[in-house]
Amino acid sequence: MSIALRWIGLFIFTLILAGCHSMSADGLSGSGYAMPGGDFGATPGGVQSLTTAREFVNHGHVPPAEAFVVEGMFSEHDLPLSGEPCDDVLCVRGALGIAPDTDEEDSVWVQVGLSSTIDPDNFERQPIAVVAVVDVSGSMGWGYQNDNSPGEISRELLLQLSSQLGSEDRIAIVAFGSDVNTVLEPTPGGAPTVAAAINNLSADGVTNLEDGLRQGYALAEQAVDVYDEVRVILFSDMQPNVGLTAPSDFEQIAADGADEGVSLTVLGLGLGLDQAFLNKMSYLRGGNAFSLMTSSAVDEFIADHWPWFVSPIAYDLHFSAESCSDLEVKAAYGFPGSQNAEEPSLEVATVFLSKNRGALLLELKALDGASLSDAHVDLNLSYTKPDGSQVSKAIDLEYNDESVDACGVYMPQAGIDKTVALALLTEALQQSTSLYQSSQQAAAAHLAAALERFDVAADRLNDAGLDDEAQFWPKLLQLIDEGAPQGDFYGQSFSSPASNQPTNPWL
């Protein structure tokens, strides 16, 4: 029997035994809706945290600049906006405020808030087909006594994720190192053979990520006609050394898979993680990425993100911003995949359910010295529901010359005030760590000024999440002042920032 027929046969057999989930027109379970309001969370795909950057700091290293992505910072925080009651699965609201940017120039800030009406206590996800593509190369440390090796984190993650799957779900496992093997054919969740296959995984040489991922996608594509949600979940430290090795190469593989209807979650593991791969592979349709550094983080990951990271509620979210008051978009924050784009991107490939209410942020500037006193922005947006239906919405926002505070700030809601503060902080962290490669002094000065501005916002808002950020990031400034090494923990990118000369391994 072919694998494709096996996906189908097992699925039909399960439906006979267990019955079908009741489904709404959105392709989500019909029993999981709350009253209109939109109090549950929704966030864009892409990188979902700054875990990699924080762990570099905790271990005495300056993170690489690519470890700082705004959508990762946003996803760690609840960024609500109030507004009209909502009766759709995805709720989109807007707010407009005035505040200086990092150059102390007045800007118009527009937040698009994302939330959902689902009731998390009663939500029933749809059945899912999962192909776990697992790195068993030597660098992962499978079988090490250290529970925090990437391999042992992978094992714990696999065991816990597979335990969340039911008989209506399917899981297959592809292991790659020097060789690539399908160690578990499509199998119902909860079957004893799943845990046995996971516990039998062991180290196998070099990191042939390309062939492993291609085999995983080939297997997953055979389930697309059987399951509405088909997802490859990649477990790796993202250090390929055989075949394709550049992040852009794997971006293309993920894009090809997305075109075939297969979504991707990248689980980057361990302190040797190459963050650039997460950034490139996770912004596409159905994509997201998380990083975990210790086995102890697995319980929290499951509690916070399951089943939300496998539950998309919107695709192809597009924006246009029009102004009747001589404004133009200068920057966009929190749009996955746009951090290195020459033009601000106003597109989001996927929106997922989440414990946190998410945000997208636009910065607009006045043209030719125009006044901001009558700033007016019309947002037009559209997106596609999982069932293929289209939604369009217009949001009109304006500023009627309300009073600003002593810092030049007017924010109509705490949510947008917090979002702007986090965006500017993350941008400064990224710029400082980029400057550090050539000038320790410039990096320190840039970050010190940004932290001072952030402290003002944190004091103004009295928000616990902002307070945590205000207490943590001075540790990075201290590392920069001390001339700490910057780079990955494989020792491939370390340099002395003061002189920008490679460190002599013999000293």
DSSP strand pairing (288-292 vs 46-47): parallel
Nearest to 95 by CA among 503, 371, 410: 410
C-alpha to C-alpha distance for 71 and 122, rounded to whole angstroms: 28
C-alpha to C-alpha distance for 281 and 237, rounded to whole angstroms: 14
Amino acid at 147: D
Per the CB < 8 A criterion, the answer to whether 374 and 325 are in contact is yes
Cβ within 8 Å of residue 225, ≥6 positions away:
4, 8
- Is there a cis peptide before residue 307, judged by omega within 30 degrees of 0? yes
pLDDT reported for residue 497 = 42
The tally of CA atoms less than 13 A away on the side-chain side of residue 481 is 9
C-alpha to C-alpha distance for 425 and 102, rounded to whole angstroms: 9
The structure's pTM equals 0.90
User: Mean pLDDT for each 10-residue chunk of the chain (507 residues)?
Assistant: 57 42 39 58 98 95 96 98 92 95 92 96 96 95 79 95 97 97 97 96 93 98 97 96 95 97 96 92 97 94 98 96 83 85 80 98 86 87 96 92 88 97 98 97 98 96 97 98 85 36 26
Nearest to 93 by CA among 102, 85, 101: 85
Q: What is the largest CA-CA distance in the chain?
A: 73
Tokens of 169: 């779900």
CA angle centred on 494, ends 489 and 500, rounded to 5°:
165
pLDDT reported for residue 340 = 53
The neighbour count for residue 84, using CB atoms within 10 Å, is 10
Nearest to 7 by CA among 311, 306, 229, 181: 229
pLDDT reported for residue 281 = 97
Nearest to 281 by CA among 206, 186, 358, 217: 217
pLDDT reported for residue 487 = 76
DSSP strand pairing (347-354 vs 180-188): unpaired
C-alpha to C-alpha distance for 128 and 226, rounded to whole angstroms: 10
Give, for 142, the enclosing helix (H) or strand (E): none
Tokens of 132: 């776990």
Q: The tokens 């400064």 sit on which residue?
A: 428
Per the CB < 8 A criterion, the answer to whether 377 and 321 are in contact is yes
Amino acid at 348: V
C-alpha to C-alpha distance for 160 and 164, rounded to whole angstroms: 7
C-alpha to C-alpha distance for 98 and 106, rounded to whole angstroms: 7
Per CATH, is 3-25+127-242+259-273 categorized as 3.40.50.410? yes
Residue 232's SS3 state is strand
Q: Helices (DSSP H) in 411-495: which residue ranges?
A: 414-435, 440-461, 464-472, 474-482
The torsion angles phi and psi of 344, rounded to 5 degrees, stand at: -60, 130
Per the CB < 8 A criterion, the answer to whether 328 and 37 are in contact is no
C-alpha to C-alpha distance for 286 and 280, rounded to whole angstroms: 13
Q: Rg of the chain's alpha carbons, rounded to an integer?
A: 23
Tokens of 151: 């391999």
C-alpha to C-alpha distance for 32 and 38, rounded to whole angstroms: 13
Q: Where are the domains of the chain?
A: 3-25+127-242+259-273, 422-502
DSSP strand pairing (106-116 vs 90-100): antiparallel
CA distances from 409 to 104, 415, 421, 440 (A): 11, 14, 11, 31
Tokens of 405: 């505070």
